[in-house]
Amino acid sequence: MRPLHPVSPGLRALLGISFFVIFVAFWAWLTFGGHVNRIFLADPLSMLRDGWRLLVEDRFWLDILITIWRVFGGFLMATVVAVPLGIAMGAWKPVEAFLEPFVSFARYLPASAFIPLLILWAGVGEFEKLLVIFVGSVFQVILIIAVHVGNTRRDLVEAAYTLGASDGGIVRRVIMPASAPAIAETLRLVLGWAWTYVIVAELIGASSGIGYMIINSQSRLATGQIIFGIIVIGLIGLLSDFAFKALNRRLFPWSLA
Chain length of the chain:
257
Q: What tens digit of pLDDT does each residue of 116-175 get? A: 888 888 887 889 889 999 999 999 999 999 999 988 888 888 888 888 878 788 888 888
Can you tell me the mean pLDDT for 216-232?
Answer: 89
Amino acid at site 151: N
Give residue-wise pLDDT tens across range 66-101.
999 999 999 999 999 999 999 999 999 999 999 999
For residue 250, CA distances in Å to 73, 147, 243, 246 come to 23, 24, 11, 6
What pLDDT is stored for residue 256 in this prediction? 56
Contact call for residues 163 and 74 (beta carbons, < 8 A): no
Top-level class of domain 43-256:
mainly alpha
* pLDDT tens digits for range 20-70: 999 999 999 999 988 888 888 899 999 999 999 999 888 899 999 999 999
